[in-house]
Amino acid sequence: MATAIPHKVTLPETSLHGPALARLLSPGLADIVIAWTGTGNNFLNVEASPDGSIWTNKVTLKETSIARPALAVHEGRLFLAWTGTDAAHHLNIESSADLRNFDRKVEFNETSDFGPALCVFKNIMYIAWTGTGNNWLNIAQFVNGRMENKTTIQTETAYGPLALAADNEYLFIGWTGTDPKHHLNVMRSKDGKAFLNKVTIPEESPSGPALLFEGNRLIIGWTGVGNNWLNSESSIDQGIKWGNKSTDQNNTAIEGPALTFGFVGWTGTDPQHHLNVALGTN
């Protein structure tokens, strides 16, 4: 996220929550995908773009969500996860091979008051969420249509949704703490089960952060307290030391941003809360 975000595109679509972004990197398919929860109806929407400038082929699903969705690409399919509008707010996931038809829906027994996070680590899909009532951190594998090997970190609590990212060695989890100042936090795991090396970053946010591992850097993005500015910092030692902070004072978001390779997305603080996508992840 550069200090002055280049090539910003404001979409005509709106949402009361932050969006999700993913890069497909698959021949024959559009390169960038955005997903969001619709204003007024809570329907999930997906749209694609070859380069982030022109967005086409919008698909509106019959599914509804209380919060922002999550996206990830695995084994040639785009996976979409969300928290349902049913009374208990169950987590759900389904996928698509063509960006038009979504199927293989699974509703989990797990629930949350926030949207989930998705990530692929060592060729396994992971889903993470903030627990209902206790705000504990939860991470599980999604294998063969089932949730497996769930880990609950009861020593940590999150203020808002979680974030996931991975390199070849570690799965990273990020969250905004429930401490009075709502500091940002990151931990990592070599096996997707035991999370260690917690680092509390001296930055604060009113919502959950975003994580992305790009090149040799782990990047965290967040919305600033009091000003809603877009911020990012990066780590070159796999989440231990953080620096190179960048603040964009020209763009503001109602929730934490979304990060994918080379792009940042957010929901603006304009009266209609339009979606925005721009080049640059710091």
Look up the CATH number of the domain holding residue 181.
Answer: 2.120.10.30
263 within domain boundaries:
yes
What is the C-alpha R_g of the chain? 17
101: Cβ contacts below 8 Å, ≥ 6 apart: none
d(CA 39, CA 275): 11
pTM of the model: 0.95
d(CA 63, CA 78): 16
Measured CA to CA in angstroms, residue 266 lies from 33, 106, 160, 193, 209 at distances of: 13, 27, 16, 30, 12
57 within domain boundaries:
yes
Give the CA angle between residues 127, 193, 202 to the nearest 5°: 80
165 within domain boundaries:
yes
1 within domain boundaries:
no
Helix (H) or strand (E) holding 164: strand 163-166
265 within domain boundaries:
yes
With contact defined as beta carbons under 8 Å apart, do 242 and 282 qualify? no
Domain span at residue 192 reads: 9-279
152-186 per-position pLDDT tens digit? 999 999 999 999 999 999 999 999 999 999 999 99
d(CA 102, CA 234): 34
274 within domain boundaries:
yes
Q: How many domains does the chain have?
A: 1
54 within domain boundaries:
yes
User: What pLDDT tens digit does each residue of the chain (282 aa) get?
Assistant: 334 455 899 999 999 999 999 998 765 666 999 999 999 999 999 999 998 889 999 999 999 999 999 999 999 999 999 999 999 999 999 999 999 999 999 999 999 999 999 999 999 999 999 999 999 999 999 999 999 999 999 999 999 999 999 999 999 999 999 999 999 999 999 999 999 999 999 999 999 999 999 999 999 999 999 999 999 999 999 999 999 999 999 999 999 999 999 899 999 999 999 999 998 755
28 within domain boundaries:
yes
With contact defined as beta carbons under 8 Å apart, do 111 and 89 qualify? yes
What pLDDT does 26 receive? 64
What pLDDT does 279 receive? 84
